[in-house]
Structure 1
């Protein structure tokens, strides 16, 4: 059952059967693309060639709620060339998706998130703009579980995990693994399954009894959470990816205590055993930093995902407000009149329409500047320098690291406030100049009134459809019940 903060809309008519429900999205939410079937990916949507190396990350970021934290995380993921990141302890409320602007670039990444009613727990996915095109479905299950499905020759399901801690009550642990098992049971056996996140577990180094699950390079002893994870993985034919590859200790540990001395392995990447050959490496990236005491875990995986449609020529957007200037307006009218006088009379209305369009575009290109849409970035170079300094301090001076973290939070709050003051001033100036198009475009962007419809469709039992075949079947069921409804 999905958490009650997820909104669904249902079309009914005269007491007819419920229509397939679409998950409600929040302001700034983005796509969930129309998926190809589980076994036959649509050729027009192929994204990656076979045997492409994808970088998957698992990272407990401690929070994504602080000002500037999402941008900092996205910047680090882009620097490490991460294609897909599973984030745990994100601490965002509700569920949905949004675009995150890279502070020092025009590029954006897509954040899918699943949280509760409070700023605690929470998980999510961050995808590169290229990888986002392969998304079939995002299912926010709870503040500890979510699943992202990617289209490909073999459909790939990535389950984001944030497990209860070792000291949590047994009931909480039992409920978590029951829900996780129910989630895995819904995935076809032929599909590729990846689990990633903070399992809060010590699986240890001993393979006795776990030979089919644990590799030769585990570390430490096994605790209660570790036994639960090993039992779950064995029952479902999953491998603990961290234990399959030999690395120095510093590239195995995923968590360091605030005292800077105690370390542990808590974050893992798991894969179903039949796809073992697709997993090429798992190790931590100590250079990645967002103010968390967890290291980023990076996995190299070969996935055969779908490709994007061929790029189309972007539509030119002219700054028509320049025509408010009398001299430029007169010049434009004369140029357009001269072009129209030279047009040939066409019998075909489509050809004539194309001539008119070309004439307007030619005149606009010469006299009206093209609008270069750049997303405003509010994080200054000074803050980015502090973030880089904190990254270096993490490895040598933990006291200085904490001081820089506090300084960064304070500076980002001030810069965020200054940004909103600039936006307010720009809107006031646009109103005074009667530039209402600029004013209302800004208002719509800030208020999030434009919300795309999600393609997440539910079956009658509340679960999501994952293929074109299931989608068509679900709509057929709906219309059969709707049109055959007896009043």
Structure 2
């Protein structure tokens, strides 16, 4: 067992910890296309061939973005696989640190084109931002791995949740963005989105546990379908009223309508004779007379 054997690491190239492109990123979430996002505790990627194995399962299930927990890699960085996937990882950075914990995100080429930037927070939290089809709305993904009750001190667990809350609060300040939190929380795999229920319909659907995925982990791969679903709002702040003019077939209602309209327009005719009354004001008075008559007769 060793940290990514020389053959596999030789098939990768290392990049920087952030990505900025002059060209606009290609959207990852759109209203018309459904993508798959997954999260998986792989137990370790500190073995020769394990990264390639994870990438193979990712392609097999057609996953665009895969969050990984317990990778056991040290430091933080960015690797590109020979098969086209990109791995963003975050682990312990102190000297002599053990190969424990560690989080990562594996990106398909589709997700790479949508990547705006990413941040390795610590060995338990990593974040990435992706473009969506909606202008000025980004998708923030937070992959985390909470210390388990068995091997974590209370102080360390408290520190984890404080850091996670700080990351969430920072993303919530971006009022238009969507935030997806996923990963291991108290040994329970979960994924959820936070905020914007008033702007977006349910983003995630068809959440499934893929028991057939195998990387020698005792945890199962969790996959969800995602699509940008926007609620529709009417831009008409003054909708036109509709009246049941069919009621005018009734002779009594027809007589009442004519009388009501005549009574309203008789004083209006005197107003229209005034020279200082502009055309816009005249039109508003005429319109008001018709609407008031309709509301009175057809109510």
TM-score, normalised via structure 1 length: 0.40
Q: Secondary structure at the match of 1:62?
A: coil
Alpha carbons 2:18, 2:119 under 8 Å: kept:
no
Give the C-alpha shift of residue 99 in structure 1: 1.1
Q: Does 1:69 align with 2:50?
A: yes
Instruction: Measure, in 1, the Cα distance between the counterparts of 2:33 and 2:101.
Output: 33
Larger-gyration structure (1/2): 2
Q: 1:162 aligns with which of 145, 155, 160?
A: 145
Q: Does 1:137 align with 2:117?
A: yes
Match of 1:111 in 2: 87
1:128-180 Cα shifts (integer Å, max 9, x gaps): 01210111111000000010111222201000110010232211111000000
**Structure 1 unmatched runs, 5+:** 1-25, 37-41, 102-106, 202-265, 305-487
Give the C-alpha shift of residue 50 in structure 1: 2.9
Instruction: Measure, in 2, the Cα distance between the counterparts of 1:285 and 1:74.
Output: 15
User: Which range moved further: 147-156 or 60-69?
Assistant: 147-156
User: Which range moved further: 73-82 or 149-158?
Assistant: 149-158
Q: Structure 1 pair 125/134, CA: closer, same or farther in 2 (3 Å)?
A: same
Give the C-alpha shift of residue 186 in structure 1: 1.1
What is the correspondence of 1:49-64 to structure 2 with a 5 Å cutoff? 49-64=30-45
Q: 1:286 aligns with which of 192, 208, 211?
A: 211
Match of 2:220 in 1: 295
For this pair of structures, how many residues does the alignment match? 204
Q: Does 1:267 align with 2:189?
A: yes
Q: Structure 1 pair 285/63, CA: closer, same or farther in 2 (3 Å)?
A: same
1:321-345 Cα shifts (integer Å, max 9, x gaps): xxxxxxxxxxxxxxxxxxxxxxxxx
Give the C-alpha shift of residue 35 in structure 1: 6.2
Match of 1:147 in 2: 127
Alpha carbons 1:54, 1:302 under 8 Å: kept:
yes
What is the correspondence of 1:325-340 to structure 2 with a 5 Å cutoff? none
Q: Secondary structure at the match of 1:52?
A: coil
1:112-131 Cα shifts (integer Å, max 9, x gaps): 00001331100000010121
1:374-419 Cα shifts (integer Å, max 9, x gaps): xxxxxxxxxxxxxxxxxxxxxxxxxxxxxxxxxxxxxxxxxxxxxx
Match of 1:217 in 2: none
Q: Structure 1 pair 96/297, CA: closer, same or farther in 2 (3 Å)?
A: same
Instruction: For CA contacts below 8 A with separation 6 or more, give which structure has more relative contact order.
Output: 1
Alpha carbons 2:25, 2:115 under 8 Å: kept:
no
Give the C-alpha shift of residue 45 in structure 1: 3.5
- Higher strand fraction (1 or 2): 2
TM-score, normalised via structure 2 length: 0.64
Match of 2:258 in 1: none
Instruction: Measure, in 2, the Cα distance between the counterparts of 1:172 and 1:67.
Output: 30
Give the C-alpha shift of residue 200 in structure 1: 2.2
**Structure 2 unmatched runs, 5+:** 1-11, 230-299
Alpha carbons 2:39, 2:182 under 8 Å: kept:
yes
Give the C-alpha shift of residue 276 in structure 1: 5.0
Give the C-alpha shift of residue 270 in structure 1: 1.2
Alpha carbons 1:35, 1:135 under 8 Å: kept:
no
RMSD: 2.1
Q: 2:19 aligns with which of 22, 29, 33?
A: 33
Instruction: Measure, in 1, the Cα distance between the counterparts of 2:14 and 2:153.
Output: 37
Instruction: Measure, in 2, the Cα distance between the counterparts of 1:122 and 1:156.
Output: 22
